[in-house]
Amino acid sequence: MSEDRSGRLKEGQLICDSCARVVAVVSQFKYDFHVEGVEPLVPLAGEPRVVDPSVERRIPADSEELVCSERWTVSPPHFRCTAGGTGDTCTFTGEFTDALVRFLHQPRGGFVDVFVDDQLTASVDLFTPEGSFVEPLVAATDLPVGRHTIIIAARGTGRDASTGREVIVEELVLYGPPGLEGFGPAQPLNFGNPYSEFIEGYVGLAGPEDLVLEMGGGDRRRCLSNHVNFEYLKFELADVYGDIHTLPFEDDAFAVVHSQAVFEHLANPQAAADELIRVTEPGGLIITEVAFLQPLHAVPFHFFNMTLWGVQELFSSCELLASNWFGPLSETVMWLLAVANLTDRIPAAQLERIRSDFESFDELMSHDDLKGVAGGVHIAVRKPG
């Protein structure tokens, strides 16, 4: 195990006292409950690590601090991209002890290697069959304080299923001891969905001592000590990784529990709802937003779109405080066209007419008219007690 100077666990394991089984591993201060068959490790003695997770330096991939070979291009908002030719490299040199590289995974992704101080430290396959997502790769950890060099090198190969060999970098994230040049306190970030006004109204009711649990918050952080972002996927900015169907928290632990765009992606929504109720304190709040008429997304983890009554049924043991629907018809129609791969085939003028027509239909519809064709629904409930 290793800690930072504040005593926070950086690398290690959580072991069940009664069963002597590893229930979670800790890496780069993140708690990961996706464990099975992991053997307990012998604790390591030594000095605490000097890295401080509360300070960091984030370097966009389009920064001039990255020296890249000529075939790399820049793509908004600040991605650095290459088709993946052998010899395509990006190099960064600076002070740090730990480093992440945020790579885009997508259907044209290839293999990429990362070298630190001329040593291969990580390799990753950037192919995913559907959609795209950014995931961090640990490039360096526990290096001596000083200047180090990271080289990102396209391998020029990929899976047979990939339609390309592309390497797309979004950002470098550096860590080290306080006082390094260019480092500063970690700031709130949101690389995912905008925060929901409906949910935020209830989250704002929590006091500074109340624990707040965000389920499936994605790649975003609030930088508040009483907020926990629990994620299934290994997004950089989440706090804890695990399965919503079996939460690693005590009963009645949180004053507010909320989820946004999560329940349509769950294999057993009722089991998940029961877990949210279990970890909410008596009298605590649960707020949930779910897809209704949204098209297929986050493949292959899209299982159950829901009506308003369906979501209420999941939390029928609780007191219903509010329920509503959202998402204009024009937004849903344009999303449907995009998922059907029509937006690149329909002539631009025709596509704009469709958009304009449905936006004018939005103006003709009352909120009650939208109820049967809304993109999503949300409810707020109170746990009895």
Check: CB of residue 73 under 8 Å from CB of residue 164: no
- Listed residue (234, 309, 270) closest to 25, CA to CA: 234
Listed residue (365, 383, 384) closest to 374, CA to CA? 365
Higher pLDDT, 5 or 265: 265
pLDDT tier, 178 (very low <50, low <70, confident <90, very high otherwise): confident
User: Which pLDDT value is given to residue 278?
Assistant: 98
Contact assessment for residue 337 and residue 346, using Cβ atoms and an 8 Å cutoff:
yes
pLDDT value of residue 197: 96
- 11: Cα within 13 Å, side-chain hemisphere: 16
* b/e burial code for range 255-291 (CB count within 10 A of at least 16 → b): bbbbbbbbbbbbeebeebbebbbebbbeebbbbbbbb
Is the pLDDT confidence value at 21 over 80?
Answer: yes
Tell me, yes or no, if the pTM score tops 0.85.
yes
Pairing status of strand 167-175 against strand 55-60: antiparallel
- Residue 143 has phi, psi (to 5 degrees) of -75, 160
Cα–Cα distances (Å) from 107 to 85, 304, 348, in that order, read 17, 24, 25
Q: Which domains does the chain have, with CATH numbers?
A: 1-49 (no CATH), 55-184 (2.60.120.260), 190-382 (3.40.50.150)
* pLDDT at residue 45 in the model: 46
Select the more confidently predicted residue: 163 or 3. 163
Rounded to an integer, what is the distance from CA 371 to the centroid of its chain?
30
Residues near 357 by Cβ (< 8 Å), separated by ≥ 6? none
According to DSSP H, which parts of the chain are helical? 197-203, 269-279, 308-314, 329-339, 348-364, 367-370
CA 71: distance to chain centroid? 30
**pLDDT at 242 exceeding the cut of 70:** yes
- Which DSSP state fits 163? S
CA distance 265 to 284: 24
Q: How far apart are the C-alpha atoms of 188 and 38, rounded to whole Å? A: 33
The Cα–Cα gap between 25 and 216 comes to 19
Task: Provide CB contacts within 8 A for 86, sequence distance 6+.
Answer: 154, 155, 156
The residue among 42, 59, 151, 145 whose CA lies nearest residue 95 is: 145
Q: What is the mean pLDDT of residues 157-164?
A: 95
Q: How many CA atoms lie within 13 A of 262 on its CB side?
A: 26
Q: How do residues 92-148 score in pLDDT, each as one tens digit?
A: 999 999 999 999 999 999 999 999 999 999 999 999 998 899 999 999 999 999 999
* pLDDT score, position 50: 53
266 has a pLDDT exceeding 90? yes
Nearest to 127 by CA among 90, 157, 82: 157
Lowest mean pLDDT among 1-5, 272-276, 329-333, 368-372: 1-5
Place of tokens 């970098």: 169
Q: Is the pLDDT of residue 3 over 50?
A: no
